[in-house]
Amino acid sequence: MQCGRIGNMAHKAVGIDIGGTGIKGAIVDTATGELKSDRIKIATPEGGEPEAIADVVVQIMHKLGSVDSKEPVGVCFPAVVVKGRTLSAANVSKKWIGFEAEKLFEKKLGHDITFVNDADAAGYAESLFGAAKNNKGLVLMTTLGTGIGSAIIFNGVLVPNAELGHLEIDGVDYETKASYSAKERDNLDWNQWAERLQKYFDELVKLFHPDLIVVGGGVSKQYEDFLPLLKLDTKIVPATLRNNAGIMGAAKFASKK
Ligand code: BGC
């Protein structure tokens, strides 16, 4: 696929997904969720500091080609985002806490952006184009990666900034036990990891009684190794948009602004 100019094309927006290990971006058809360019990926700079991350976002925009000043640009980030400020920083530099992040990106890019939490973007995309498409009722999306991201979607409406990865279970912030990075850190096999996930999802069900749970994050492509090990009355399914969900959701949010 060609990277290139997106000016004058209806239903197109740029989506950029900032993660603890990589920063990805693409041009998205916001009517269908389809990527309309190559997906550009650059490693997240060591330390995850604001200036360095913003510089990578600028590089990604350049690689995507020139963007008309009216084209929507959405950026999602692994932290609580309220009115353009990042209020937390679980797996990035602590400098992001209370930081005017949206302003920094807009200054560096010379372009307005829409700035949202990464799991909110992914969950929103799954509810529109992926595993939760056409689902009424309460959908919980969880992303199992460096941390645990979460999104609450009720009848297609997102409740922003749910931080359910940080539920305290057995006295600990449970993303430190049940994220995919915890599986790797503790050398857990699928069964051992599933025991922790069982505890985590039992707690989510007890508190929210969702109609559907969607499990995303890179590891969701290996869902056959761990989802069948879980015993839940609630339907639990793998995300279908894989690594593109954040990009698609960020672009979609931007297109609605
Ligand atoms: C952060 C969330 C984020 C999630 C996934 C958590 O540690 O607190 O804001 O959505 O990681 O990146």
Residue 56: φ, ψ to 5°: -70, -40
**For position 130, what pLDDT does the model report?**
97
**For position 69, what pLDDT does the model report?**
79
Distance CA 79, CA 201 (A): 21
Instruction: Give the H or E element holding residue 208.
Output: helix 190-208
> Is the separation of the CB atoms in 79 and 96 below 8 Å?
yes
pTM: 0.95
CA distances from 168 to 25, 117, 136, 199 (A): 33, 21, 29, 11
Identify any residues that bridge with 75 across adjacent strands, giving them in sequence order.
Answer: 16, 115
Three-point CA angle 143, 226, 229, nearest 5°? 125
Residue of 143, 174, 219 to mutate, ligand 1, most atoms within 8 A of C-beta: 143
Q: Note the pLDDT tens digit of each residue in 140-183.
A: 999 999 999 999 999 999 999 999 999 999 999 999 999 999 99
> Is the separation of the CB atoms in 1 and 15 below 8 Å?
no
**For position 9, what pLDDT does the model report?**
61
**For position 169, what pLDDT does the model report?**
97
**For position 151, what pLDDT does the model report?**
98
> Is the separation of the CB atoms in 230 and 197 below 8 Å?
yes
The more confident residue out of 136 and 132 is 132
- Among protein residues, the one whose CA lies closest to atom 11 of ligand 1: 147
Residue of 81, 161, 163, 180 to mutate, ligand 1, most atoms within 8 A of C-beta: 163
Domains in the chain (CATH in brackets) are 12-118+244-256 (3.30.420.40), 131-240 (3.30.420.40)
**For position 1, what pLDDT does the model report?**
44
Q: Note the pLDDT tens digit of each residue in 16-69.
A: 999 988 999 999 999 999 999 999 999 999 999 999 999 999 999 999 987 787
Q: How far is the CA of 79 from the centre of ligand 1 (A)?
A: 5
